[in-house]
């Protein structure tokens, strides 16, 4: 069976821009072409894409994946620890531009979900001590995360997609809202971020939006009732409990 690039992207969970980059820059995936010149992907291409994602989840840079696909018997060590240490060293040395480039480059090399779960969240945990130095480092890192997420969100808004509102609720760590948003970029979602809910929320401003509510800990009975009321005001409501 053949799939268009849009269908293929949905099946594999990879955005179309990334697929084109894999083919053009790294020689990964070689789809056929229709008579009109459009890319056509096969079931074998789907399996190949899943193999590529598997290597990326292990921390292999996309530039190295083709070699490993050609020679699957070779071992490759996990690179996430290396990237964490590299980014931490850049931050500690005050090389903020270099740290920014590392995050942006990693965003092009790896799926966004892996970038969050394997690099950014673990690094934030490493620099969570209540000391002046670590507090400053984490503040700088959070600023870079917010800037990169905003960049990805704005890029997604150039293409059609469903509207999403992602907000925090009784959440002390506002950066977690941005990390949750970052994981969902590149998936045909037009995202707006509301780090904190105001005391009075006019959800009727977002009638056509899917709402993702980020909170911490088990919901109380009062909070459950509140979410039931909110569900009537938006297209859909998803609760993410950290």
6-21, pLDDT tens digit by residue?
888 888 878 777 888 8
Q: Which CATH number goes with the domain that contains 23? A: 1.10.1660.10
Express each pLDDT in 130-141 by its tens digit. 788 889 999 999
Residue 123 host element (H or E): helix 121-126
For residue 172, the enclosing domain spans: 161-242
b/e burial code for range 222-239 (CB count within 10 A of at least 16 → b): ebeeeeeebeebbeebee
State how many domains the chain has.
Answer: 3
Express each pLDDT in 197-223 by its tens digit. 887 778 778 888 999 999 998 899 998
Closest Cα to residue 216, out of 189, 183, 240?
Answer: 240
Residue numbers of the chain with a pLDDT score lower than 50: none
- pLDDT score, position 100: 97
Question: Among the three residues 28, 49, 70, which one is the final residue of a domain in this structure?
Answer: 70
CB 98 within 8 A of CB 60: no
- pLDDT score, position 78: 64
Answer yes or no: do 172 and 236 share one domain: yes
Question: Among the three residues 156, 173, 190, which one is the final residue of a domain in this structure?
Answer: 156
- pLDDT score, position 240: 94
Answer yes or no: do 221 and 187 share one domain: yes
**Helices and strands: H and E segment counts in the chain:** 11, 6
What is this structure's pTM? Answer: 0.73
- pLDDT score, position 68: 76
Question: Among the three residues 115, 133, 156, which one is the final residue of a domain in this structure?
Answer: 156
């Amino acid at each position: 069976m053949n799939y268009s690039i849009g269908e293929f992207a949905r099946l594999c969970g990879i955005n179309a821009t990334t697929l084109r980059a894999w083919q053009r820059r790294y020689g990964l995936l070689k789809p056929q072409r229709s008579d009109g010149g459009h890319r056509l992907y096969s079931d074998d291409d789907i399996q190949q894409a899943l193999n590529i994602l598997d290597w990326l989840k292990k921390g292999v840079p996309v530039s190295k994946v083709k070699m490993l696909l050609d020679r699957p018997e070779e071992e490759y060590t996990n690179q996430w620890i290396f990237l964490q240490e590299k980014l931490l060293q850049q931050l500690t040395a005050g090389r903020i531009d270099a740290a920014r480039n590392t995050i942006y480059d990693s965003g092009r090399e790896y799926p966004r979900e892996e970038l969050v779960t394997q690099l950014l969240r673990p690094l934030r945990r490493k620099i969570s001590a209540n000391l002046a130095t670590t507090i400053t480092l984490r503040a700088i890192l959070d600023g870079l995360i917010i800037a990169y997420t905003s960049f990805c969100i704005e890029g997604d808004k150039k293409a059609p997609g469903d509207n999403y509102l992602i907000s925090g609720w009784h959440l002390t760590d506002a950066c977690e809202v941005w990390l949750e948003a970052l994981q969902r970029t590149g998936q045909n979602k037009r995202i707006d971020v509301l780090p904190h809910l105001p005391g009075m929320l006019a959800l009727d401003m977002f009638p056509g939006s899917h709402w993702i509510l980020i909170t911490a800990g088990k919901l109380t009975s009062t909070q459950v009732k509140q979410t039931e009321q909110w569900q009537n005001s938006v297209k859909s409501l998803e609760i993410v409990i950290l």
